[in-house]
Amino acid sequence: MPYCEVGVHQSSPSAAASSAVVPVDSPINNEIKLFYQTYGRGTTKVLLIIGLAATHEAWGPQIDAFTGTTIPNDDVSSGDDNECGEGIEVCAFDNRGVGRSSVPVQKSEYSTTIMAKDAIALLDHLGWKKAHVFGHSMGAMIACKVAALVPDRVLSLALLNATGGGFQCFPKLDRRTFSVAFRFLKAKTPEQRAAVDLDTHYSQEYLDEYVGTEKRRAILYQQYVKCISSSGMQSSSGFDGQMHACWTHSVTQPDIDAMKSGGFLVSVIHGRHDIIAQIDHAKRLAERLHPIARMVDLHGGHLVSHERPEEVNQALFDLIKAAGENKSPHDWTNLSTNQSWLKENRMLFLRTIQGGSRVSFKFSLIEKLYLCLLYLFGILVLAFENGRKLLRSLKPVRVGCSPSYVNVDSS
């Protein structure tokens, strides 16, 4: 099975030369192994970085579009090698903490910078000097750090359903989100997890569409249960670690400056009905990356790469083509200068924070109030769940046989 030992191929002079970030050759756990697969053959290289709690298989629609197959190269005869051709070779992998990759126990072993170093180690392991780097959700956060660490090795950058991390990871506050959060805390079986994942990943409109005589929700539910049952639920240490990486992630101004200096183009792709990563945060990130960024706003949810695969794939092909043609940033971006007022205020806030000088009081107050409200929401959900458990434990035990009192809980 293809594995990459993290730390063996960590050295990168280009990263060490960057003043924006920690050098890539800094010490990390040499015992961590990443499971990866490559698909297709060709001189164009694409690295796919998946998000929280997902494995590399979640890139299926994009792998198929790029290479025409979802069969890994390990399972294909080497006689089909087309390394010198114009095709695309894709690498997708399981991040640390999930799938067949190693699962560190300590939260301190998870951060988007550490996981970016994992991805760079994989590039070294594959012998790829440069690649198009595409990330989804948490994977987009990691992709940002890869681009900041080694901007000279990035041909283009695609950020799908991305946020700036930290408080931006909090979901939208509405009735649907309350329901999803509560059900997520209760999910202990593949069936329960599949049901809540559907509402997290897709828009309600998409789930309610009919495919033949069945709703798409019913079809996807069966697929999710089968997938989760076969791969197993993510371990608590892996999930907690990856969540820690999301909460502690931030795209600093030095990160932005490093990415802008790389000479590559960026595509920020987002589903406007995403309840996990809100589109406003993605738009702000795109504005911070102006003029190298293009904003692609699609009708879909958090897993827009599955809900709108044709449109997402076309946006990615457009990015690869534009990079190959050396298109100028001003010809690439679709962000107007009229949107710069928010960008300028946001940049003022970030620069005053990082420089230690006077902070914009308005921005600071709004973000702190929002953060307090979101923390309160989380505490209320946890308190409600613990209260229910306490009431159950105090409920009198029913004695005697009764045909109506049968435990039918499949869990």
Strands (E) in 274-391, as ranges, are: 293-298
pLDDT at position 121 over 80 = yes
- pLDDT computed for residue 405 by the predictor: 35
**3 state SS of 70:** coil
For helices 361-394 and 340-355, angle between their N-to-C axes, nearest 10 degrees: 80
Is residue 130 pLDDT above 80, yes or no?
A: yes
pLDDT at 333 over 90: yes
Q: How confident is the model at residue 82, as a pLDDT?
A: 52
pLDDT tens digits along 257-276: 999 999 999 999 999 999 99
Q: Are 271 and 279 contacting, i.e. CB atoms less than 8 angstroms apart? A: yes
Query: Which pLDDT tens digit goes with each residue over 136-187?
Result: 999 999 999 999 999 999 999 999 999 988 888 877 777 777 788 778 778 8
DSSP 3-state of 271: strand
Per-residue pLDDT at 288 exceeds 70:
yes
Q: 27 with 55: CB under 8 angstroms?
A: no
The answer to whether the peptide bond before residue 13 is cis (omega within 30 degrees of 0) is: no
Lowest mean pLDDT among 87-91, 217-221, 253-257, 349-353: 349-353
Instruction: Give this prediction's pTM.
Output: 0.79
pLDDT per position as a tens digit, 74-116: 877 654 545 557 899 999 999 999 999 999 999 999 999 999 9
Express the helix, strand and coil content of the chain in percent, nearest 5 each.
Answer: 50, 15, 35
